[in-house]
A and B are shown apart, each in its own frame.
Chain A
Amino acid sequence: TQLLEQSPQFLSIQEGENLTVYCNSSSVFSSLQWYRQEPGEGPVLLVTVVTGGEVKKLKRLTFQFGDARKDSSLHITAAQPGDTGLYLCAGLRWRGDGQNFVFGPGTRLSVLP
């Protein structure tokens, strides 16, 4: 069972277009992180959202955490080829033996010049 779902799985757009990708769960997470990963490299942390309804902006990227802390979205304005990569969301989960991050399957974005 996938705790976190992401949609769409793949997205190919032209430079300058806007896009939104989604991260959804039936579980509540205490916080959620978004990463971008390029081929053969480690994921790079973009943002952490903690409070339900929170909105954070990082230049052309806008992140929102759902009111119930079960879902999140990432909106990119005027996409550029440098935005190409795998976008991963990860939710922080507390277990009896410690905390760990649960990853969604990712959205693979391709921005064409």
Chain B
Amino acid sequence: DTEVTQTPKHLVMGMTNKKSLKCEQHMGHRAMYWYKQKAKKPPELMFVYSYEKLSINESVPSRFSPECPNSSLLNLHLHALQPEDSALYLCASSQERGVTYEQYFGPGTRLTVT
């Protein structure tokens, strides 16, 4: 089983709203990721959690706040977003496979900021 789930599938929010994106995996993976993907572009790394600790923050604005409550869950809290933050937000997890890691993605949350 290589399933990563994300909720909600679609989200529309105003610039003054606070919302959260959720991601879950039950594969025992110890690294989890948030990516942002704009139309016709590749995924762009935002955050990496390793063993429930934030290990990489790619200079993401503070209106995006990640949280890893436990080894299976990853949240992305959103506050005071801008219309240009509208994108597909992808969660992924990875596992060690010999000398490398394999990464699996969730289906994404389509976010629209109005």
Within 8 A of A (CB), among B45-73: 45, 48, 50, 55-56
Asked if A110 CB lies within 8 Å of chain B CBs, one says no
- Minimum distance in angstroms from B76 CB to a CB of chain A: 15
Contacts A42-B90, A43-B43, A48-B97: A101 and B55 contacting too (C-beta < 8 A)?
no
16 contacts between A and B (CB under 8 A): A30-B100, A31-B99, A40-B88, A40-B108, A41-B108, A43-B43, A45-B102, A48-B97, A50-B100, A88-B42, A97-B56, A98-B56, A99-B31, A101-B103, A103-B42, A108-B40
Task: Give the A-B pair count, Cβ closer than 8 A.
Answer: 67
Query: In the complex, what residue of chain B is closest to A103 when comparing beta carbons?
Result: B42
A residues sitting closer than 8 Å to B (CB atoms) are 30-31, 33, 35, 40-45, 48, 50, 88, 90, 92, 95, 97-101, 103-106, 108
Q: How large is the interface on B (under 10, 10 to 19, 20 to 34, 35 or more residues)?
A: 20 to 34
Contacts A45-B104, A100-B45, A100-B48: A40 and B99 contacting too (C-beta < 8 A)?
no
Q: DSSP class of A's interface residues: helix, strand, loop or mixed?
A: strand
Q: DSSP class of B's interface residues: helix, strand, loop or mixed?
A: strand
Residues of B within 8 A of A103 (CB): 42-44
B98-A50 in contact (CB<8A): yes
Contacts A40-B88, A50-B98, A50-B99: A105 and B107 contacting too (C-beta < 8 A)?
no
Residues of A within 8 A of B103 (CB): 33, 45, 90, 101
Query: In the complex, what residue of chain B is closest to A31 when comparing beta carbons?
Result: B100
Q: Which one of A40, A50, A98, A108 contacts B110 once the chains associate, using CB atoms below 8 Å?
A: A40
Q: How far apart are the CA atoms of A41 and B31 in the complex, in Å? A: 21
Residues of A within 8 A of B56 (CB): 95, 97-98, 100
B108-A33 in contact (CB<8A): no
